[in-house]
Structure 1
Amino acid sequence: MQNIGFKEDLTHEFKSDRTCLSDGDIIDAVVAFANTDGGDLYLGVEDDGEITGLHPYHKDSTQLAALIANKTVPPVSVRVEILSFSVPVLKVSVPRKTAVVASSAGKIQRRRIKADGTPENVPMYPYEITARLSSLSLLDFSAQPVADAGYDDLDPVERERLRNIIRTYRGEPQLLELSDEELDKALQFVVLQNGKAIPTLCGLLMIGKASAIKAHVPTAEASIQVLSGTDIKVNESFHLPLLAAFEKFHATFNAWNTSEEMEMGMFRISIPAYDPRAFREALVNAFCHRDYSMLGRVRMAIEDDGLTISNPGGFIEGINADNLLDAEPHGRNPVLADAMKRIGLAERTGRGIDRIYEGSLLYGRQLPDYSQSNATSVHLLIPKGPVDKAFIQMVSEEQQRIGHSLPIHSLMTLNALKVLHRASVNEIASFLHKDEARIRSVLESLAESGLVDASGTGRGRTYLLSERYYRLTKKPYAYVRSHDINTLRYEELIMELAGHQGHVSRADVVELLHVTPSQAFRLLQKLVKAKRLALTGKGAGAKYIPKDSI
């Protein structure tokens, strides 16, 4: 029998139809896809991929699509098509829904991967529905009133701490003029129900008593670890209101955040192991964007290789590790995030992620790393690493010259060239996971400012950090090597291709090196003058043959 050629996974499901699969099983599979990442259901395929074909009852694709729409709430519109194999197979393509979907019988399911790597459909429990809605930005969990909590669960001591933070971090000064009750309402710490002020999750998290937080929000746990090799220096877990937790995190961070000094002209500047502003924004993000319906902890770990901050709850819908800097700012807990901004703890523009990246880039260190994040947690590593003093001085001097900070994409592009040495627009865009048009614009702006040198035209145009940077590194030979290396490398690549084919044309060189036809012609003529190639033919039929093969 014929095999379909791939295996089941999170977005592909096989169903046998030899005995006519029930409508209920089809609806359950569609609901599970809609509540996860969408996917394709193949009807008439066994679990091992063997194609056994459709039952005659399911050969009317229009009827099946209508059945699915009628048996799902809200209705799921699917695309149904019959695939032509040795026997027919029905493919049902299910979109990912931006709402929680149930069957008309009331079953709510989702897909997951089992320990053996195969997928399965499982029930979606009430707390998972809340998490799903939060990740889709359809529910602000932090704005919900906390059942059984009372106004006396808010701590006057924490409210005074809040006022001190507003003063220290230059939050909205108008908040300081409000009474306690007015302040709680302004920051949405309470909602009125039947004339009584009931704490919201945001209010309880921000200024609630520790005992009330542990009783009503047991998921709101945090931990701090400091490790030196395998030696544990600090290891604490606690349930505290966020503002008290922040002070505890900051005290530990400040105690272990070492620094070194650098001379710049007449001044000495201190370079911390981790930028305090980047740390603060990372911590704010962890608390504001965590999923409070999930068990887990906001965790800070300071280790030999870097600072880790992680939180329960994956990236929300539309956000991933590659588009963090470009995506429209929006979070899982808007009311909590808004309170953080208004009291001065969070970046008011909603671009705190820029601060996190800037904190590493300004010191010439490796980029923050979100690659270990997954569907259930966000994991940020800020690498420690050595500082690049030449990079720091070059950026600092340029910022003093222009009178403002360099944009984050300019810093990222400079950092990419530091790693790649010499690269094209395509190579830099691929390295940074950014759009080529944007990177090209950034590079040309940097070239105009003298921070980057450019050579070539069109697709063959390449860039490298300017001589200014290499002069500051006291390694001018590195600039000369990077500046001239392409010509030498191009010649060897042309000779290698000529050796493989027995000849090479100008079109071959254009395709090989992504240079213009005129650049290709000059490279070939140089090799002819060096007596490494010989020209045969004319015009479109011109070929260049290795001398040693003549």
Structure 2
Amino acid sequence: MDSDEIAELIKIGETLTVEFKAGGIDQDDLAEAVVCLANADGGILLLGVTDGGQIRGVNLDKKDYADPQRLAATISTRTEPSVTASVETVTIENNLVAVIDVPASDSVHATSKGRYLRRALDVKGKPQCLPMRPHEVLAGAAGETDFSRRKVDGLDLQDLDGNELARMRELARQGDGDRALSSLSDTELLRALNLIDLDERLTVGAVLLFGTAATIDRITPAFEIGFQELDGTEIRANEIVRIPLLRAMAHLAERVEARNTEEDVEVGLFRIPLPQYAVPTIRELIANSLVHRDYTQMGTTLVRMSRDSLTISNPGGFPPGVNTSNLISVMPRPRNPALADAFKRAGLVDRIGRGISRVFEHQLSLGRPPPDYSGSTSDSVIVRVRSGPADSDLAGYISQYRRSGEELDLQDLLTLHEVRVERRITTARAAELFQVDQSSARAKLNALVERGVLESRGETRARTYHMSAALYRQLGEPAQYVRTKGFERIQQREMILTFVEQHGSISRSEASELCQIAPLQAGNLLRRLRDRDELVMVGERRTARYTAPES
């Protein structure tokens, strides 16, 4: 790699496959950084660059770091099994940077001091070197990364519940299931799901899906599910059980659906039911908590209902590569692929990996807020779905719009919810909500303007969007359109006068940035305030500034 390529990597910053380390780190820290990359997808380690991207260069007193061959040898002797890294040095800004190309490995590596680490994203999307759990080390050494496919010696079909295997066949026969499974024998079914090997050894996944109570207690003691119903501080229901996953799915879904009240809205001749939680929302979120939890951790997969929300939590953070900032845009990465495959083939979850996006779509279509994952940590995933009163006018509009033959996708629905609540939306906010870049977000907002759903104000970076007059009329709130535009003008006036009071004066460009409007609009607004004697113009044209009048 040449200096320009390295400079570009530094400009982008640290990622899952690029890590920076200061040039003076000790050999133990160097080894940890290398095995961290090797145990994930491999990548580039830049030695001589700080975490913040400052190029300081390697410590030339450490001769092993300045010589590529000696640095490669140091890495080899400090890792077990040895990591064979390609090393070169590049001079950038008069500093020597060591470029270490670490290959992804099929086996698990440790430092010579026995530390196992892997590169992953934390819950906020920041790349980190995290300790590997014992089962990950064992599975990686055996070439198996799916804990649910781990073989368990000493089990046979007698350790499985025949009723649960029959449940799987029945689910596969119905609805969106894989009908090919419905006519298979028990052994054939297990083989089709990759839950038994050629030597007829069962896997952990077979136990979790079909095990008897005694087998589950013995093989997976960390697993249990719970349901709670709260009325204020009073606990009205509290169940903790340890049952196979397909039965657990039905058990939890039935309890939520039995308490899922709804309201109605009339749109023309149609009556639209608005439940607190869409049935697909309930089932997808419960399935996710069962399929993606970490079965090596003690803890309960818990479903809790209260007056105003449904909260579902499970042990284990998001799977590698998934976090709250890419949840609806990233390709699905199940922690337990064997369990995920079984649930898909049973027809219990979305088969094309759009389950979470559909959950957002269903709740927003009911005129309700989207799910909230902000309470999640590196050790647990927590999703809260608020019930509250539905925005029945918005739900009615969405239903009527779709009945007309038009479609509203998730980005459309997120936009409608945002402008309904906040009265306006910017490109930056849309990019955050959609989990896309700003150019894509801007294109979507402009498309909604063309469809007559939104109107825009301002230009380029100062542009904002709000609901169109036509949409306000369809929502039965034509006066709100006038109030929204009028309120913005009042708010802009107050913002400018407050700025002048605090800073002494304001220019057209400062007013444009402050009010998030185009420079031409900012100039017109300042002149109106001048004409009403609320401001005094000092200077001319581009150099003009506006101050408060003398009292």
Provide the secondary structure at the position in 2 that maps to 1:524. helix
2:249 corresponding residue in structure 1: 246
**Alpha-carbon shift at residue 512 of structure 1 (Å):** 3.3
Counterpart AA for 1:455: R
CA distance in 2, matches of 1:297, 1:81: 51
**Alpha-carbon shift at residue 470 of structure 1 (Å):** 4.0
- Among 327, 347, 372, the alignment partner of 1:344 is 347
2:439 corresponding residue in structure 1: 437
CA contact (8 A) 1:74 1:101 kept: no
Identity fraction in percent: 34
**Alpha-carbon shift at residue 100 of structure 1 (Å):** 7.3
1:86 corresponding residue in structure 2: none
Structure 1 pair 393–70 and aligned structure 2 pair: CA distance change class (3 A):
same
Structure 1 pair 133–260 and aligned structure 2 pair: CA distance change class (3 A):
farther
Equivalent residues in 2 for 1:125-524 (5 A)? 126-129=134-137, 139-193=145-199, 197-404=200-407, 406-430=408-432, 434-471=436-473, 474-524=476-526
Structure 1 pair 98–318 and aligned structure 2 pair: CA distance change class (3 A):
farther
CA distance in 2, matches of 1:126, 1:231: 39
1:7 corresponding residue in structure 2: none
Counterpart AA for 2:182: L
1:428-477 Cα offsets, whole Å, 9 max, x none, are 43466542222212222222233222233322322112345544665444
1:74 paired to 2:83: yes
CA contact (8 A) 2:209 2:244 kept: yes
Counterpart AA for 1:211: A
**Alpha-carbon shift at residue 258 of structure 1 (Å):** 1.8
Provide the secondary structure at the position in 2 that maps to 1:549. coil
- Structure 1 alignment gaps of length 5 or more: 1-10, 44-53, 83-89, 112-120
Provide the secondary structure at the position in 1 that maps to 2:495. helix
1:471-494 Cα offsets, whole Å, 9 max, x none, are 466544432221222223223333
CA contact (8 A) 1:185 1:191 kept: yes
Provide the secondary structure at the position in 1 that maps to 2:155. coil
2:126 corresponding residue in structure 1: none
Counterpart AA for 2:291: C
CA distance in 1, matches of 2:141, 2:420: 42
CA contact (8 A) 1:533 1:544 kept: no
**Alpha-carbon shift at residue 324 of structure 1 (Å):** 0.6
CA contact (8 A) 2:371 2:385 kept: yes
Equivalent residues in 2 for 1:93-132 (5 A)? 102-103=109-110, 105=112, 107-110=114-117, 126-129=134-137
CA distance in 2, matches of 1:96, 1:309: 38
Q: Return 498-507 or 378-387, whichever deviates more.
A: 498-507
CA distance in 2, matches of 1:335, 1:468: 50
**Alpha-carbon shift at residue 396 of structure 1 (Å):** 0.9
CA distance in 2, matches of 1:500, 1:243: 63
**Alpha-carbon shift at residue 181 of structure 1 (Å):** 3.4
CA contact (8 A) 1:365 1:387 kept: yes
CA distance in 1, matches of 2:30, 2:243: 47
1:50 corresponding residue in structure 2: none
Structure 1 pair 477–102 and aligned structure 2 pair: CA distance change class (3 A):
same
1:549 corresponding residue in structure 2: 550
CA distance in 2, matches of 1:124, 1:505: 56
Structure 1 pair 131–524 and aligned structure 2 pair: CA distance change class (3 A):
farther
TM-score relative to the length of structure 1 = 0.79
CA distance in 1, matches of 2:456, 2:235: 49
1:36-56 Cα offsets, whole Å, 9 max, x none, are 99999999xxxxxxxxxx996
Q: Return 386-395 or 411-420, whichever deviates more.
A: 411-420
2:94 corresponding residue in structure 1: none
1:189-223 Cα offsets, whole Å, 9 max, x none, are 32212xxx232233332222222222222233212
**Alpha-carbon shift at residue 378 of structure 1 (Å):** 1.1
Measured on the aligned residues, the alpha-carbon RMSD in Å equals 4.1
Structure 1 pair 103–179 and aligned structure 2 pair: CA distance change class (3 A):
closer
CA contact (8 A) 1:189 1:204 kept: no
Counterpart AA for 1:126: P
**Matched positions, count:** 509
Counterpart AA for 2:149: A
CA distance in 2, matches of 1:432, 1:269: 27
1:529 paired to 2:531: yes
CA contact (8 A) 1:61 1:81 kept: no
Provide the secondary structure at the position in 2 that maps to 1:379. strand
Structure 1 pair 104–532 and aligned structure 2 pair: CA distance change class (3 A):
closer
- Structure 2 alignment gaps of length 5 or more: 1-18, 49-58, 92-96, 119-128
CA distance in 2, matches of 1:518, 1:532: 19
CA distance in 1, matches of 2:78, 2:403: 64
